[in-house]
Chains A and B, each alone.
Chain A
Amino acid sequence: MRFMVIVKATEDSEKGVMPSQDMLAAMGAYNEELVKAGIMLDGDGLRPSSHGARIRFDDTGETTVIDGPFAETKELVSGYWVFEVSSREEAIEWARKAPFRGGELEIRPFSVPEDFGEAFTPELQERENQLRDTLGAQREA
């Protein structure tokens, strides 16, 4: 089972305050533990929402772009991991080992194509696949 572990933003992360040397070391050790346990597929940190933007869609598909920063700190994301584990409990126990002092993690299972039902037709899947191919190529480049 694949889970995304979402790191919620904090006031410090939103201000762009760099973690302490101790925290960086603890996080490095934690990441190493995840890798050595064979369960971490991916993971990274994000810059504060002041560097980001939101793209809002109305009912007709018209878009409005809103530049960051955004106010509701606790709803924002500051990083993520992708775990491959055998159960929800295992994802939780791994997340519990993260060296945070304050803050919050949220775990969410990846949806599988079946979750989309009829709306996710083979043609759409093909489109998505092409998109991911492009992303993959960019990553490799």
Chain B
Amino acid sequence: MTTPPPPTASATADLHRVVDAVWRMESARIVGALARVTGDVGLAEELAQDALVAALEQWPDTGVPAKPGAWLMATAKHRAIDTFRRAQNLQRKTQELGRSLVQDESAEEDWAAALDEVVEDDVLRLVFISCHPVLSREARVALTLRLVGGLSTDEIARAFLVPEKTLAQRVVRAKRTLTAARVPFEMPTGTDFTARLSSVLEVLYLIFNEGYAATAGEDLTRPALCQEAMRLGRILAGLVRGESEVHGLVALLQLQASRLAARIGPGGESVLLADQDRGRWDRVLITRGLAALEEAERTARDALGPYALQAAIAACHARARSVEETDWARIAGAYEALAALSPSPVIELNRAVAVSRAYGPAAGLELADALLGVPALSSYHLLPAVRGDLLHSLGRDAEARTEFERAAGLTRNERERALLLGRAADCGGSAGLPTP
């Protein structure tokens, strides 16, 4: 038995959790308002952090205020005005006395008034600046989670399995880069808007994928990152009007995430779509994902974009009770549209699988065969695995066996290798004629 911690320690821990929660809820708006007024995201975040520290110092004595968000904002505002005054004083000392004093006072009032304003676009501007193309992808991801998501560097570092120091430096450098490049805290317009929005969507997709197919570490997935990406996506969908791809991405994330629990087997291994217990799919996320897809279709100017198309594919799976009942023709069509937008051999291979399900293995094999000379797929085990599967369906077992063996030689996953060798063995004892 463990002894409970002394009440003061536990009360402090409870309070920390409340402060964390309030910070997550309010920080983006506070940092956004401060950045609008100061024109400097780095300074804005420091001021907001000062308010957070003040809360951690004062709330244990005073209790959590009735409106904790307003308290944080007011405190940050005082810090901002102090900083402003200090800067003014410094300027006054170094310049001729009194030269622009009257102006200064009105500037301070303007500042204070501006901080009291609620500006809808503050958070959106914060999203855009965090995903600014002047930053590296890694920096965009870190800054978005930090400034918009309100996550601590420690939380982000743990999620991405990098040392906290590395992550903290990444954030500091990113803020410096923005200052050095004099990136204005404003909404992009015109054609710039479309390009900048696609950078934002890409960042959210990266965050989600890092959680969905964890590239490092022991866990196959890190659902907290998926949740955060979905939250940020929903925030974005609430702020940007009439952009089909925003809804497309939100649909895609929710539909993919609906399968999170089913993707992991009892032993912690990954479970393929066809073998998943569909009863474990999250119905709430599916319903919301399908609704977001409808919104993406409704707001599309002409054809669907890449996120909406991927969501449409995920939706076909989400609607189906089994692999057999899946609308493979529709999926094949979506892959074709996707390949037309952004040609990729991996998309083509997926299309080959969908086509084989919809129109038979021969049609699928024809598409897969066309990929044989593509250098990008030369060491990709799924190409021979798919071909093996299709050849086997066509009764061409000798060729199928060679393909499965080739695939087994290419995969780095032990479990998958065993699976492929098993498929090869099922195709009969002798390899027969060698395949070209």
Contact = CB atoms under 8 A, between A and B. Distances in A.
Contact of A93 (B25, B231, B279, B287): B25
Interface string A78-110: 000010111101101110010000000000000
A133 interface: yes
B283 A92 contact: no
B18 A136 contact: no
A37 B148 CA distance: 11
B222 to A, nearest CB: 13
Interface stretch (B55-63, B234-242, B328-336, B384-392): B234-242
Given A2-B284, A37-B25, A133-B321, 11 more contacts: A36-B235, A38-B238, A41-B284, A84-B227, A85-B21, A86-B228, A89-B17, A93-B25, A126-B279, A128-B279, A139-B287
Contact of B21 (A35, A38, A82, A93): A93
Contacts of A126: 277, 279
B279 A125 contact: yes
B349 to A, nearest CB: 30
Contacts of B224: 86
A127 B280 CA distance: 11
Contact of A38 (B18, B234, B277, B278): B234
The 3 A-B pairs at the shortest CB distance, nearest first, are namely A38-B234, A129-B279, A90-B21
A39 B17 contact: no
A94 B18 CA distance: 11
B42 interface: no
Interface residues of B, number: 34
B139 interface: no
Which of A90, A94, A113 has its CB near the most chain B CB atoms (within 10 A)?
A: A90
A122 interface: yes
A35 B20 contact: no
A140 B319 CA distance: 12
B281 A84 contact: no
A38 B69 CA distance: 17
A67 interface: no
Interface of B: 14, 17-18, 20-22, 24-25, 68-69, 224, 227-228, 230-235, 238-239, 261, 277-281, 283-284, 286-288, 290, 321
A63 B288 CA distance: 35
Interface string A51-93: 0000000000000000000000000000000101111011011
B27 to A, nearest CB: 12
Nearest to B278: A129
Given A90-B24, A94-B25, A136-B287, A38 B235 contact: yes
A87 B21 contact: yes
A47 interface: no
A5 to B, nearest CB: 14
Contact of B18 (A93, A113, A132): A93
Given A37-B25, A89-B18, A132 B234 contact: no
B297 to A, nearest CB: 14
A82 B284 contact: yes
A82 B235 CA distance: 16
Contacts of B235: 36-38
Which of B14, B278, B284, B290 has its CB near the most chain A CB atoms (within 10 A)?
A: B284
Nearest to A38: B234
A93 B22 contact: yes
B26 to A, nearest CB: 9
A41 B284 CA distance: 8
Contacts of A129: 278-279, 281, 283
A122 B278 CA distance: 10
Given A36-B239, A38-B234, A94-B25, A86 B227 contact: yes
A42 interface: yes
28 contacts: A35-B234, A35-B238, A36-B235, A37-B25, A38-B231, A38-B232, A38-B233, A38-B235, A85-B21, A86-B21, A86-B24, A86-B224, A86-B228, A87-B17, A89-B21, A92-B18, A92-B21, A93-B18, A93-B22, A93-B68, A97-B69, A122-B277, A122-B279, A126-B277, A128-B279, A129-B281, A129-B283, A135-B283
